Structure 1
């Protein structure tokens, strides 16, 4: 570093003082240097051009640097201080070659050309500068200009600098991110496109997107021009709305017409996302379109739905076809009982029990179908749990007695009120009781307990039977699940009962659990139901009159199942009713007009015209305005019952119909 003069030397040079006045920190530093010992000599002997350049340099707020003379002696201002880094303050007043050896091979040749009168300017020029002992890549906007001496010859280089390192590094990071995002888009397994401006011009598409548009050259084209086949399918409109509102659009699988190979329109399914991208003012600038074809998936889903629907229809048809032959069998059994054929009572009882078991299996199949489709509805009323349990026990008594089980009831008659469908809740408890009876050795014990816990009613069904292995408990309520049985399948069943129990309890707003200490140690099923608070006026149940000795009626039976119609007619005639039978819809309509019945029992699946249409036509006959119409069908789903009511039926009964229930229904609708 040049030596520093004493104050007397500086004061004696008033010209030097004026030249180096001001300038902040760098001006103060220059005033301490003995310039006489540098190549530029004492300040008072500097050429006028150098003095002027230095005064401008010191007053300038932008980074400025002067290299003077053939030795390139350096001058710089406060704004340039950070560029010099740890080379300051030694760099002031010494040769540029000595200060910047690491970049002299770059700037030296340029300065030689500046010395010849040329100027240079660069933006974001990269220089590797040693700062704080370490080389660092830096970027600058700068210019090199020649500085003339007093005679007009080039005597120095004026350098103006603005460091842009942070800006360049930020741009590099942004560009790297953009490049990475582009690579991600290019290699994404879904189609991606970028549409810009209100005309939605393609700026970018990846390979999967090109496959979706049949590899057409879409870049630079508006969407409507590139893909004209989308007109009228709502795509243009959805994209325009996303662009105008700035709100993203998510399109679920939808069928669209797209061009394929060969160039024909094909129906395909797509999922799409339109994501608007705003500019700095928040206005939509472009839209990212993400789309992928799901045609095969949608086809598979539709096929699964069709298969599921076919399964439900099959189960409904199966139930109908099974009920048709069961109806005359059960009616014949009732008829045998009425006639008092005691010689075959044992056989009759066995047949009846097996028929009712078969009916229960059909009901379970149809219940599973209804539950799976959410078609099963409840007819709730406020009722004491004890009444439901009594009905369930009555249904299960034959099995309990057959296996000589001890049944213990610990349920209060009142205080356990629930809001429930009595028939369905009875079905729940009866299923649990049947399970307990089946899986408990003869002479075992079955216990039913009930109590109220806060706002819930809790019911237990316990047995000391075969129990359940711990690993099987989580599966016990699954459809079609049964614990492994012997080859004889001594317990029977389809494995549907507990699945139906779980679903029915859930429909009542409750829950059910199973517990067992293990094989041979019994089991316990717990049912929780919401407790129903009492109201000031409880609904009273309608009392069904005693119809053991009903009056005589004129009854028309229309059924294409001749055996079923004959058995039903024979049974009803024992009560003194007058019966007429027809076997198709048109024959039934003629019979109704001539016979003028009080009650008509109509099958639904009739030849010529079905039971629904027959009911409508009978209702239109003026002379039969008060007739009672009963639908008796193998179809018993809720929609079947609703169709019957719409057609004019008073009641819909499902085959096989219990004879006592049918006789009651002749006069009044069952609850």
Structure 2
């Protein structure tokens, strides 16, 4: 058959029209195409070359015809689809579409949007969604001779919409887990799209969603918050503040919040909303105010009679605890603001249209990971708040190790084998059993991470007659119980061995560890009268050996020795001149104020370089140098050594919150005041240092 013989009404269909013409219609009731009704011919001539996917089924047995735009919907049905009975071609979905076909044959049209159909595709059932119409096909007399359909495969859009909905739900779930308050605002009126439970806890139950900030919080009209939001929306510049006051309706007292406003942008970079996050820090601000009040009356308190002095000293100790908690919570709140910035930016990026799924998952993981880091920070804060003095007792190390081994088996995972070695005899130690368990868990977790979750963990217990020489200290005779924890992991490079016990030092990825685990083990061992040794070969593994003082079978638990009662500051010898070296503005102002209240004259240098410059100019104007240890650049110990070398008669008193290791190392030879310190302790140390000042200083 030649192309010229194709009827004109099929010619627009090209190759498909030719295929329709070539099909053997002799066995059907509809006959050859030249004899088909005018309505059928006109319909085919109209839509065979249409870009809209269309099909028809006509005749007593509903023989199927389609255009090229419809062909992709057929898949492997396309071969042999021309002229096939409609019910046979779509037998897998016929129970679902037969009523719709029947309605069309009765002369009634139908339209469906995103109708779900489970059909065979590529040889397997697949969930699909379709938008289509079924319309009756009438001949020139108005009789229904078949049906015509326009179709759109909506599967990809439905799946994408469902994934987007699920992803939004995951995002909201992640924000819901935030320990701080979170809200999402949209538009210049700052309409609430979302608030988490922490936000409702602070603000109270209000009609948030769909309403603007001015409607929800009318009491903020004179507090500057409307203006801040307007400025962030107009400029696109984020805003953050710490300890900002806020007065809320229904609350008798003023609150204080750490606050972040971060703009949310669309694909074109235009600001479309604002991310709001923060924390209620009212307890911290109250504690700081209480501390300032105590410090203002401190000098009067220490001049009272001895009974009143004891009460004042107790109040001071409590105030120092409050100060430590206040500083710690301030640092954590600062870190939380950083975490909120990560979350806010990720939310902003995820709101962009057409964002690739891989990047969207990356940003979602960033939010989840940040939530986990925030949760760990909160746990650390609670741990510091509940920290107790050591409670030494006599316990069987072997039994304790066996108990801890059962505890950590689920923690290290089934791919890590734990073996306990040593004789079965009891090994009694005199130490804090709870802290010993924590130390073992920290060592086991470090070993698991070093082995990447797979390997062998050996714990050996034995009695030894001496501590080995460690970190420059000579061997020390005595009876000790040695607990060795050996792994088959990656090992520790030689240049990192001196750093592993430093607080906050870690080689793990961000969010995988705080760097406090080995510091806890080290501090516990030394405070208990023992020590810890480490041996490592890169690529083969590491062995940590914890030494604890051995106890006899008849020994009883040791109680902590009570600290000596504080005494009042000694009378001031003379109006000494003190050079204060402190890089922290708050601490520097406080230190100089306290020293001035004690009668000293002070000069404040913000770092070691500034202090050396002042001493080079005129060292005789100062009677003593009072310096922090932890400072950027040259630290306090290095500064003290430089002063000792250049001006050996000038006394130096150091102060540090990380002073236990420093105090134990007598090679420095400097007086040390441990933070937080009392005024009485500071006065005694400084006056003693001035009394002992070498001639010629």
TM-score w.r.t. the length of structure 1 is 0.48
Structure label with greater radius of gyration: 1
Considering Cα pairs closer than 8 Å and 6+ residues apart, tell me whether 1 or 2 has the greater RCO.
1
TM-score w.r.t. the length of structure 2 is 0.47
